[in-house]
Amino acid sequence: MTDFAEIWSYLSQGPLLWLTATLTAYALGDACFRLAGRSPLVNPVLIAVAALAVLLHLTATPYSTYFEGAQFVHFLLGPATVALALPLYDSLPRLRRALWPTLAALIAGSFTAALSALAIGAALGVDATVLASLAPKSATAPVAIGIAERIGGSPTLTAVLVILTGITGAIVATPLLNLLRLKDWRARGFAVGLTSHGIGTARALQVHPTAGAFAALGMALNAVATALIAPLSLSLIQQGLQ
């Protein structure tokens, strides 16, 4: 046991261990997802996050140590987001035909995403920092973190909320939209991308290419809209509390 502890102490300080653990956790989540017939309830990101959280807890590993190894995956978030332009370009003619409905849905969806979260948080009595962290939770992570820093939120808390929002959207979107009998893949994809950013967009791409293209559009446009709407929504809620 002493030898194992010494070996683990040595390995845990190396970045390669935590990069490998991250990739292994996602591979495990993806395997479970496939075994479940691609059910939205078995989300690979959720499984990977849970597995890594348990591992870090059992090994008493600080997040900073883990992130030294996992930061390469974090770096790839940027290129992965840019790569979503490919399905977007393939569906460009359909996007042009749906320009005005798309803009209307963007404004309504962005305001709803921010105001509903802030109103619930205010009703539950959360403090100002948590409210500011909640406001941009439906934008993609790099944008949401930047917005949270500007409006007095906690970037770390916002990152957690962004991930939870994405996972929740990826899980509930398909059954909810089926329940609402919404069959237009453009509307389905845009709604998922707008509310659930990258994780929801990945799910939309698995369901239908048109849904994936419009999800990418929703995620991109909502990142811009949230930068304007989140501070305004937070200001409105704060004025209502005074």
**Spatial CA neighbour of 196 closest among 129, 124, 113:** 113
Q: At what angle do helices 141-150 and 209-241 cross, to 10 degrees?
A: 10
Q: Output the pLDDT for position 242.
A: 65
Phi-psi map region of 197: left, alpha, beta (phi>0 left; psi -120 to 50 alpha): left
**Above 70 in pLDDT, residue 87?**
no
| Count of positions (residues) in the chain | 242
Sign of CA dihedral 85, 89, 94, 95: positive
Q: Give Cβ neighbours of residue 221 (< 8 Å, ≥ 6 apart).
A: 102, 106, 194
pTM for this model (two decimals):
0.77
Q: Output the pLDDT for position 31.
A: 92
Tell me if residue 152 falls in helix, strand or coil: coil
Average pLDDT over residues 96-121: 88
Alpha carbons 42 and 30: distance in angstroms, whole number: 9
**Above 70 in pLDDT, residue 88?**
no
Range of weakest confidence among 2-16, 79-93, 200-214:
2-16
Q: Output the pLDDT for position 14.
A: 62
Summarize pLDDT for 2-18 with one digit per residue, the tens: 444 555 555 556 667 88
Q: DSSP characters for 180-206? A: TT---HHHHHHHHHHHHHHHHHHHHHH
